[in-house]
Structure 1
């Protein structure tokens, strides 16, 4: 059996949805990462195997391109594959279908970190005959290094809570997206105006860290940052219709 590509079906439940019955952007991101995690486990470089070497995958960049959002009780089929895997870095792509219609595509960039040293290092687990697909992309545009010099203004503050932490003992990356979305106009989030979301994860945040959330409208949509002591930990770029 070829394990180099992977598919998983998920049924959207009401706890994952906004008040318009469409899935939250953070929960959509979470489903992609759960699917990636299952694929990595089957392939032999999942969480438990990585932990034996004090290693973990961390998400560095991700880009979503959205035709429409799945809704409550939809069964979504997520396809995933690795485009590139070399040293400490990996590019993983996704396609999200509902009833065989392509709803969302995504491309993501991951790094291996040593969970003790909190620093990147090469993957210690052998990948064997696992195949990558260097010519198989999913999105129209690749993920990118966002322009962090864009002008933003403070719109809120947040202190990292226990419920924000994940098993690696830092703020889980889907939490950053929720913090930002909660500060955007409701009509922007709930009326299917968003066509792409791109995120850069730059510095990890830990329990009780206090951050400033800033943002500003752009020609294409909206740009936001999460900053701790004047250093950007997270950047978000939204493109709207």
Structure 2
């Protein structure tokens, strides 16, 4: 079993924003790709789970960057499982440049569910998963509980074709795109993301309408996405510099 998986990625134009640096959604996607590669290599990835009608879902995620790498750069994403409980497992990431210098990190919390019932699977019953627990801590603080948004601004969004993935629900990184679209180009030009956290609560499907609440307090942005009936979809926090 590979305790720490290491995966190289070269940043392509579609990974980068107008500043020619990797966007937060694209970086999050690469992190999730690394998680998938590691899980597949160790025998508990999507390729095997799909045959048993099961899937992984990420419930919390945090990303911290010292700098965002640029177009054409090669980066390495190392990933490992720290611990495995009955209902959730922690997986961490170290992001380094092509010379091996650490430039960021991520920490995630995952659950496994039955695709049809949407009920959680006891992770202790998954062959090989407990043996993957390394005990190695994260390089950044683990994601916590993001607070609800009280007041602030509100806008609505209809979930469209470009938002959904093969599960026919909104892709997790689409939520991040929606929140970043709340800021002007001038804001993005003059501010950089120091830390990002997201708590996933419920999925949304094609055709659903969601309400996006945003509250800004200087260099701290809080977001909460809800369905019109008030049920929470996710909560996000951005710390800027």
Deviation at 1:40, TM superposition (A): 0.3
| Partners of 2:188 and 2:41 in 1: CA distance | 35
Partner of 1:185: 184
**Aligned positions of 1:37-52 closer than 5 A:** 37-52=36-51
Moved more, 122-131 or 145-154: 122-131
Q: By how many angstroms is 1:192 displaced?
A: 4.6
Q: Is the 1:83–1:91 contact (alpha carbons within 8 Å) kept by the matching residues of 2?
A: yes
Offset at residue 135 of structure 1 (A):
4.3
Query: What's the C-alpha RMSD, in Å, of the aligned pairs?
Result: 1.6
**Contact map agreement 1:152 1:224 (CA 8 A) in 2:** no
Q: Report deviation, 1:149.
A: 4.8
Q: 1:94-133 alignment to 2 at 5 Å?
A: 94-98=93-97, 99-123=99-123, 124-127=125-128, 130-133=131-134
1:66 aligned to 2:48? no
Distance change in 2, residues 1:78/1:128 (3 Å): closer
Distance 1:106-1:129 versus aligned 2 partners, 3 A rule: closer
Map of 1:5-44 to 2, 5 A cutoff? 5-44=4-43
Which one is further off, 182-191 or 17-26? 182-191
Q: Which residue of 1 aligns with 2:151?
A: 151
* TM-score, length of structure 2 as denominator length: 0.93
Contact 1:55/1:114 (<8 A) preserved: yes
- Say whether residues 1:194 and 2:165 are aligned partners: no
Output the CA distance in 1 between the equivalents of 2:39 and 2:190.
Answer: 35
SS at match of 1:119: coil
- Please identify, of 183-192 and 227-236, the stretch whose mean Cα deviation from structure 2 is larger: 183-192
Ranges in structure 1 where 5+ consecutive residues have no aligned partner:
none
- What SS is found at the alignment partner of 2:8? strand
CA separation in 2, counterparts of 1:163 and 1:111?
25
Match of 1:134 in 2: 135
Moved more, 166-175 or 124-133: 124-133
Residues 152 and 223 in structure 1, CA contact (< 8 A), matched pair in contact too: no
Distance 1:194 1:109 in 2: 21
Partner of 1:237 in structure 2?
Answer: 237
Tell me the matched-pair count.
Answer: 238
Partner Cα separation in structure 2 for residue 127 and residue 86 of structure 1: 13
CA apart distance, 1:220: 4.4
**Worse overlay, 178-187 or 89-98:** 178-187
